[in-house]
Amino acid sequence: MSTRIRHATVMLPEGPADVDVLVADGRIAAIDPAASSTADHEVDARGMTLMPGVIDDQVHFRDPGMPWKEDLHTGSRAAAAGGVTTFLEMPNTNPTTTSQARLEEKLALGRAKSVVNYGFYIGATPENIEELRHAHRTPGIKIFIGSSTGDLLVDEQAALERIFAEATLPITAHCEDEATIRRNRERIGESDDVRDHSRLRDVEAAVVATRRAVALAEAHTHPFHVLHVSTAAELEILRAAPPWVTSEVCLHHLFFHVGDYARLGTRIQMNPSVKERSDNEALWGALLDGTIDLVATDHAPHTLEEKARPWPASPSGLPAVENSLALMLHEVNRGRFSLAQVVTWMCERPAQVWGIRNKGYIREGFDADLVLVDLGRERTIRDEEQVTKTKWSPWHGETLRGWPVRTWVMGREVWRDGVFDPSVRGEETLFTPRRRGDLSSPFA
């Protein structure tokens, strides 16, 4: 099966170009192929832009164990509708993904259910170091340095030291200091004010844990990725970090702040919490100057009934995967940054950080994971139109300019203007991970 995409502006590694792209057998067969080249299908993409499929390195698709919130089929469909062709999913499912056997069970679920490409982290516990030492078919190890599900909390220094010293795969972490959160909980006392969520999970909780984890990564020369940076104060830690430490920011920490609790309430309750407007601006600046390396979602859906519980009984998390690219395209149209920068942050750098093979770029021989975007299209986000199973978005009612319109996974069109091909399934993502002792930057 082959497809020729004609007349698009193509986001190549060296810059945008008006060339055709030929796709065959799941790969990019040729860029600017000869006029005589034939294909089974032709796509007239005049006025559109072709970019690599987005790689979201932080999602929670709730499978197995929480099917009323999301599962790998519904979550991956939402991803495809948003131009996301590869996701990396977190281990706090039920049961948690803390062994090679459970990891392979999730890979089997992905093979059966996911319409885009998939990968799964293995979770650290205080006791599973042998599993972490021998783990494979995974991008890396996830540590929760702060409240989490079941046995996934790792906040004792001795356990953290052992993981950084003995495991070899890259490590990523949720950085909020549990001791600081406990002290804040005692200070706040009884409350049903959701604004106290940001006082409970405050700047100090984030800074203490991020500083602690980066110090371990430096001491053990261990590739380490800081998830969902949420504060301006963490940026100085990142600027002083060694080259094997990378970081990301999520959409909610760029767009929402504590003042938004008044209109959105628990819909924007997240861990780490949203902070001040000044933190939003600092995070945008850090993304633009290269202090922060990439953009992810932390897509973590709950039902609206669950979110409507009064804080603190309400769960933390929001759905974002199907709107993340559109939110960034809207900012391109506003002149905040270029489309090439979006490709860097959402396609190329996730592939580099996690050693993802043959993805993240439009290059001959690479996997044909592609998204066609219309930078002029306007659409309003509506709860009832969301593909995610929970059918809501914190951006409900916002009109954005710039949307994905067609998505290909391994050369097969999985989604076009709201219509899915039910026969398409993604593939297991392959990794060549950095290892402990590697002193280089993944972007070198």
**Residues with a known catalytic role:** 298
Alpha-carbon gap, residue 141 to 25, rounded angstroms: 32
Give the separation between CA 392 and CA 306, rounded to whole angstroms: 12
H/E segment holding residue 41: strand 41-44
Is the separation of the CB atoms in 436 and 171 below 8 Å? no
Alpha helices by DSSP H, listed for 137-276, are 157-166, 178-188, 196-200, 203-219, 234-239, 251-255, 261-264
Cβ–Cβ < 8 Å for 136, 119: no
Residues ≥6 apart with Cβ < 8 Å to 267 = 307, 318, 392, 394
- Residue 337: CB atoms within 10 A of its CB come to 16
Kindly give the interhelix angle for 72-81 and 100-113, rounded to the nearest 10 degrees: 60
Contact 275, 40 (CB under 8 A): no
Which of 269, 329, 320 minimizes the C-alpha distance to 299?
320
Cis status, amide bond into 95, omega within 30 of 0: yes
Residue 419: φ, ψ to 5°: -110, 130
> Tokens 């949720």 sit at which residue?
174
Nearest to 361 by CA among 103, 28, 123, 1: 28
Give the strand pairing for 21-24 and 2-6.
antiparallel
Residue by residue, DSSP assigns 269-317 as --SSPP--HHHHHHHHHHHHHTSS-EEE--B----HHHHTSPTTSSPP-
